[in-house]
């Protein structure tokens, strides 16, 4: 599923023949996406929500587009799979640069805890991120500045692959 924004990712995924759940956090863009959804006979599901505000650490009632993964996965109709099973779903998104580091910490935390999206199994992330953070994630020991705690946690927890630059 993808944050749809201008809809580039969503359309590309749809054209590739995939079933897509699009999370749109801007209600002004919803009508357009919903008419696309209605024209597609089940290939696209549009949800008002923000992937980068999923399972906030604060407790209390969530105000949309913030949302909890329980609700999201229920709406998507995706059931949890065991950790050793194949990837249950793929996430495509563009990490907003302001939140990039926070998000990388949040995801890796959730991964080690098998919490949030990782309660459903080994969710694959396909994300656009800045070259700077990519270098942090893939740094080697001895590369001062780039090699950080975040580097080690991601490299131990995940297989990191550069798909496109
Ligand atoms: C939607 O998400 C983008 C990217 O994370 C963010 O810049 C924007 O402020 C969000 N909009 C709302 C209404 O939450």
pLDDT in tens, 139-161: 999 999 999 999 999 999 999 99
Substitution site in 3, 23, 26, 101 for ligand 1 pocket (most atoms within 8 Å of beta carbon): 26
pLDDT of residue 3: 55
Which ligand 1 atom lies nearest to the CA of residue 27? 13
Ordered by start, the domain boundaries in the chain are 2-98+121-129
What's the whole-number mean pLDDT along residues 76-100? 93
Substitution site in 9, 67, 96 for ligand 1 pocket (most atoms within 8 Å of beta carbon): 96
Q: What spatial distance separates the first Cα and last Cα of the chain, rounded to whole Å? A: 21
Question: What is the percentage of the chain residues whose pLDDT exceeds 70?
Answer: 96
- Separation of CA 95 and ligand 1 centre (Å): 11
- Separation of CA 36 and ligand 1 centre (Å): 21
pTM score above 0.85: yes
Mean pLDDT computed over every residue of the chain:
92
pLDDT of residue 57: 79
Q: CB of 33 within 8 A of CB of 11? A: no
């Amino acid at each position: 599923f993808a944050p749809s924004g201008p809809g580039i990712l969503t359309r590309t995924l749809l054209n590739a023949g995939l079933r897509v759940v699009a999370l749109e956090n801007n209600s002004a863009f919803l009508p357009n996406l919903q008419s696309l959804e209605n024209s597609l006979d089940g290939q696209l599901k549009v949800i008002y929500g923000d992937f980068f505000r999923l399972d906030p650490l604060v407790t209390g009632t969530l105000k949309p587009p913030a949302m909890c993964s329980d609700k999201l996965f229920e709406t998507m109709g995706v059931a949890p799979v065991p950790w050793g099973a194949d990837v249950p779903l793929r996430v495509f998104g563009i990490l907003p640069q302001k939140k990039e580091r926070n998000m990388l910490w949040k995801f890796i935390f959730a991964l080690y805890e098998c919490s949030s999206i990782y309660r459903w199994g080994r969710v694959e992330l396909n994300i656009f991120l800045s070259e700077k953070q990519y270098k942090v994630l893939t740094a080697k020991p001895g590369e001062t500045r780039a090699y950080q705690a975040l580097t080690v946690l991601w490299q131990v927890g995940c297989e990191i692959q550069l798909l496109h630059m």
